Every structure is written in C-alpha cells, then in structure tokens.
Amino acid sequence: MPTLLSDLQAIVGAAHVLTEGDLSAWTQDWRKRTSGKAKAVVRPASTDEVAQVVKACADYLAQHPDSGLSIVPQGGNTGLVVGSTPDETGRQIVLSLQRLNAMRGVDAANLTMTVEAGCILQTVQAQAAAAGFWFPLSLAAEGSCTIGGNLGTNAGGTQVLRFGNARDLCLGLEVVTPQGEVWQGLSGLRKDNTGYDLKNLYIGAEGTLGIITAATLKLYPLPKAQLTAWAAVPSVEAAVQLLGMAHQHLGASLTGFEMMGQFALSLVARHFDHVRVPLYQGSAFCVLLENADAESEAHARAQFEGLLEAALDAGCVTNAVVAENLTQAHSLWHIRESIPLAQALEGLNIKHDISVPVSAFAAFVASTDAQLAQAIPGVRMVNFGHLGDGNLHYNVQAPEGQDAAVFLREQEARVNRIVFDAVLAYGGSISAEHGVGSLKVEHLTRYKSPVALRTMRAIKQALDPLNMMNPGRVVRLG
C-alpha cells in the first residue's frame, strides 16, 4: 500500500522529497533560536504540484487524525518570529516554495507584474527595473527572502512611508487552499467590489489559511532621481520634528525615513571594520532619508538642501551629509541594513518589532528605556527602525560581559512584559512587520482584543478545519 512519502515522491519526484542528511537550511530558523525536525522537506515546482501535495496530506490526515500531520509553508526562511520552521515532533511537512520562481509577466499598461511565490525579492526588483518600472518593497533580507514569504508576513521595509506594506503592493493572489483546491485570484484590478476581500485574508496569515503560490504586484514609474541624506539628530523628539519638516518640504517624494540609535550604529562600526559610519559618535541618533523625485536630480537636491538648512536652523539637525552619487547612497543604506547582522555578532538578543503612533514615539522610548534600565542595570538598547511609519525595532542586548544565552533565557519573559505593556499603554502593536509566528502567539491573548481573537479563530476553523496549515502560528485553536 502506498505511503504518504511515496505519494509525495510520485507528485514532485523522489529527488525533491528530502528526509535524510543535513536539512538545517529548512529546519532551523534564521536567528538560530530553534531547530526542529521535519517528516520531510517537499519541494514542488508548480502550483499544480503544490495543490496535489496539500490534497495528499489532507487525505492522509483525514484517514489518520491521530498522526499529527501538518504542513509548514516556507519561502526563503528569513523570518524572525519562528513562523516557517517545523517543530520538534518530526510530524510536519516543510513545503518549500523556492522552486516556484517563474516571472509570469509584466503588464506595462496596467502597471503590474505577476510572479510566483518563490521569486527572490531582489530578483523581482531587478526584473521590474529592466522593464522600466519600480517595485518599491525593500528590506534587509531582499537578497534571500521570497515574495510568498513577504506576502505571508505582510512585510514592511524601508519605503512603507510612501508605498505601504506588502499588502498595499499586491492586487491579486493565486492560493492553494487547505483542501488542495486552487483559488485563481490573480486579477490586476484596482477596483473589484464583488464581496469579501479574500486576498487580504491570506496576506499576513503566515500560511495558516492557505499557501500563496503567485501574486500580481503593483509597479510604479522609475523616479528621475533618488537622493539619500544622513542627518545627526540630538533626540527622538528632534527626529520626529525632522520627519514633520520632511513631509512639508518633500511631500510624496519622501520615500524613506529611518532612525538609528548611537549604540546600534556603534555595533556596525565595531563588527564591520570596512564600514565607515558618519556622524554617529557625537549624536544620540542618526536619520537616513530618501527623496525619490519625479522631476530631476537638480530638483531633488534643491529640495533636500532646503529641508536640511531649515532643520539646522530649527536645531533638530546638528549635522548632515547628502550622498553625491549612487555608490555613496548604497553605502549609507548598507549601514542601516547591517545593524541586524552586527547585533547578531554581538550575541543573542531580545528582538521587538513594535509600532506606536509617531506622536508617541519619543515618550515611548524614554519611558521604556528607563523601565528597562531600572529592571536590568547595564542593559543595552539597540533602537532603530522606520520612524516614518511608526515602526521601531526595539531590541535589547545583554549588559556588557554577561553571557548572552543566559540573558536571553533568564530575562526574555520579563523584558517582553515591560516592552509589550508599554506598547499597549501607548496605543501600539506588538508586531509591526515581522508577523506573529510562534514567538508571539501566546502574547496575543493579553495584547489583542478578545473579539478580534474569536473572529480570527472562527476564520481559521472555517477555512482549515483539520488545523493542518502551519498550526500554532498566528492564532491557536482550542
């Protein structure tokens, strides 16, 4: 009698059902916090194969309800909340979508492109540019993260300020349901008022309701010029003031506004000798701004210079530089994108991906920094993030000289409680762009509305009654 594994081998080919050898690329999370065990890693190459795999698993689970079989969809495995790796039971199928990497086409008149879920984000950006367009989703992991993962977590990145999260950049989806059916929703329509918005159920659901296999994405005209500036600011209040001035001076041309704390930048300087970090040693924070202008480089530079002169006069900027060319601009952005890697080299840490209203940013940081310093003398704060859209990566590093693994084990629950209670007090969210995964799922009972949680559970139960799709992530049943 055929077994489940032999059925899966018949669908995708024996070479693409992995059960032995080193599977850590699929079973260990990016932060190396956990390492699970997979029943198998299955690598389909088409939407039809994904549907057949899901159907085979659903049929098997229906016949063997005590087997504990479930599916964990996975893209580039770059997530930060342990949402795409298997648990330790050895009963989960890791469904890797990396072989679904076809670019299905660009519709220039409609300003859209359709790509499969396994396409690397950087490749999508490059293909859009080659066609004369701009796909503006941009984040540090863009060289390895996939579009399916970006949509599954509703990724944000550095240009949310103008273009929104991944959800705002997607017009249509192709999805395999938990029953192994395919929903063809790849319409490039910007207006479709024919009932529930199914697309947005799947975006941000982290594979718990179905598997995204392809997406139709929005494109934008390439800007005539993109300029980058780096400014030293004395405080969070000053950074917020600069943001307001940037909105006034640049309008829709303002595409990025990143705030970085002095200690965060010092880690980059410490761990990457070849990287020159400007202006940070004498300033509490630095800000990285991007101006994408539709007119000309001269117009963009004049706008930037006007903004920075006004900010210097107002005292919210103490010094600033404007990149003279694309190489300098890339170097400045590389500093910002190197912070997570530098922090990882410093040792295990407690990460928070939170959002609060921009108007509450300064008060939140001051209050929560003080609470943590009182609770854990010598604690080091790695504050950086997307101030322009209210998203802060509020990370906590062990005191100098303390064992990082011990700190993580002994202090994580305490630190999370302090930070998340403060987020709630300031009207924020404990997850801004990384998702919920398994790391934050238990916290939702305290920090999310009971009505919202009951509604989420009802949706999960209705769409995935076998609880086969990435169970224990985002929302728990029972």
Q: 323-326 long-range contacts, Cβ below 8 Å, gap at least 24?
A: 323/227, 323/228, 323/229, 323/230
What pLDDT shows up at residue 282?
93
Which DSSP helix (H) or strand (E) runs through 71? strand 70-74
Nearest-angstrom CA–CA distance, 369 and 44? 47
The residue among 169, 148, 260 whose CA lies nearest residue 213 is 148
How remote is the C-alpha of 342 from its chain's centroid? 18
The predicted model gives 63-68 an average pLDDT of 94
Nearest-angstrom CA–CA distance, 162 and 256? 8
Angstrom distances, CA of residue 417 to CA of 352, 377, 412, 422: 11, 17, 9, 8
Is 439 exposed, middle or buried, given 0-12, 13-18 or 19+ CB atoms closer than 10 A? buried
What pLDDT shows up at residue 310?
97
The residue among 218, 273, 241 whose CA lies nearest residue 108 is 218
Amino acid in position 399: P
Taking the CB of residue 414, how many other CB atoms lie within 10 A of it?
A: 13
> Where are the domains positioned within the chain?
4-96, 103-221, 223-342, 347-435
Banded model confidence at residue 261, pLDDT cuts 50, 70, 90: very high
What pLDDT shows up at residue 157?
87
Q: What are phi and psi of 246, to 5 degrees?
A: -65, -40
Nearest-angstrom CA–CA distance, 398 and 411? 9
Amino acid in position 107: D
Q: Indicate the DSSP class of residue 149.
A: H
- Write the CB contacts of 291 (distance below 8 Å, at least 6 apart in sequence): 225, 226, 227, 228, 229, 250, 253, 254, 255, 300, 303, 304
What pLDDT shows up at residue 80?
86
Which DSSP helix (H) or strand (E) runs through 347? none
Q: Return the exposure string of 202-232: e unless at least 16 CB atoms fall within 10 Å of the residue's CB, then b.
A: bbbbbbbbbbbbbbbbbbeeebebbbbbbbb
CATH of 4-96, one of 3.40.50.300, 3.30.43.10, 1.50.10.20, 3.40.50.12780: 3.30.43.10
Nearest-angstrom CA–CA distance, 430 and 436? 9
Packing angle, helices 4-12 and 47-63, rounded to 10: 170
Packing angle, helices 236-250 and 361-375, rounded to 10: 160
Q: Virtual CA dihedral for 271, 277, 282, 286, nearest 10 degrees?
A: -110
Amino acid in position 246: A
What pLDDT shows up at residue 1?
38
- 1-22, pLDDT tens digit by residue? 369 999 999 999 999 999 999 9
Cβ 103 vs Cβ 115: under 8 Å: yes
Nearest-angstrom CA–CA distance, 267 and 171? 39
Q: Indicate the DSSP class of residue 171.
A: E
Q: Does domain 103-221 have CATH number 3.30.43.10?
A: no
Cβ 265 vs Cβ 300: under 8 Å: no
Is 161 exposed, middle or buried, given 0-12, 13-18 or 19+ CB atoms closer than 10 A? buried
- 405-447, pLDDT tens digit by residue? 999 999 999 999 999 999 999 999 999 999 999 999 999 999 9
- 97-129, pLDDT tens digit by residue? 999 999 999 999 999 999 999 999 999 999 999
Packing angle, helices 297-314 and 236-250, rounded to 10: 140
Q: Do domains 223-342 and 347-435 have the same CATH topology?
A: yes
382: region left, alpha or beta (phi > 0 left; psi from -120 to 50 alpha): beta
The predicted model gives 244-272 an average pLDDT of 96
Enter the CATH code of domain 223-342: 3.30.70.2190
- 266-281, pLDDT tens digit by residue? 999 999 999 999 999 9
Arch. (CATH architecture) of 347-435: 2-Layer Sandwich (3.30)
Q: 97-103 long-range contacts, Cβ below 8 Å, gap at least 24?
A: 97/44, 97/50, 97/73, 97/146, 97/148, 97/211, 97/213, 98/43, 98/146, 99/16, 99/43, 99/44, 99/45, 100/44, 100/45, 100/46, 100/47, 100/50, 100/148, 100/213, 100/214, 103/127
Q: Indicate the DSSP class of residue 392.
A: E
Taking the CB of residue 299, how many other CB atoms lie within 10 A of it?
A: 16
Cβ 19 vs Cβ 67: under 8 Å: no
Q: What are phi and psi of 453, to 5 degrees?
A: -65, -40
Alpha-helical regions (H) of 131-182: 147-152, 160-163
- 321-377, pLDDT tens digit by residue? 999 988 999 999 999 999 999 998 999 899 999 999 999 999 999 999 999 999 999
Nearest-angstrom CA–CA distance, 3 and 57? 11
- 179-208, pLDDT tens digit by residue? 999 999 999 999 999 999 999 999 999 999
